[in-house]
Amino acid sequence: MGSQKKRPVRLTAQDREELVRVTTTGVRGASMIMRARVLLALDISVGDVDSKEVIAARLGVSGETLRLVAKRFAETGGDVHATIARKKRDLPPVPSPVTGEVEARLIAMACSQPPQGYTRWSLRLLEKHVALVEDIPDLDHSTIGRVLKKRNCALI
């Protein structure tokens, strides 16, 4: 009963009705339905709530899931939709090393004459020459291939 004391979930009648609709229609993702069921089970506005262990066993989730859903409900200020929906990621976890300028320089290099002793550019040869240029970050041959494929550049 610790999470109910620390972060009580108090739903309005309209929120409760929406959550019941989410859980009964079945047109949402399984994780969204599970979080809606957790919120309904933790709601203290309808009376006493069972212990965390009983709720977890009844819903088939862990006690940690109950804690995280209650925490997310408190963090969103009681917004039911933000609690049951997936979090939107602000930025990619790792920024891409290929910017517009890098892409342009890479395409220009691929369209230029290959070094002496070679008849054409290969992805691995481009990788070696990109490593020699100081302005361009070191790129893997598969990354170079993806950039060239995206711009319909064929190594001929």
List pLDDT tens digits, range 86-95. Answer: 888 777 788 8
Our CA angle for 47, 51, 2, nearest 5°, is 100
Q: Residues with Cβ < 8 Å from 70, sequence gap 6 or more?
A: 3, 4, 6, 7, 9, 38, 42
C-beta separation of 7 from 83 below 8 A? no
What digits encode the pLDDT tens for the residues 1-14?
A: 444 567 788 899 99
Residue 1: predicted pLDDT = 44
Which pLDDT score is estimated for 135? 86
User: What pLDDT score was predicted for residue 58?
Assistant: 93
Question: Averaged over 140-147, what is the pLDDT?
Answer: 94
0.75 exceeded by pTM: no
- Residue 49 burial (CB count, 10 A): 18
Token readout for 97 is: 């090393």
Within 8 A by CB and 6+ apart from 56, the residues are 62, 63, 65, 66
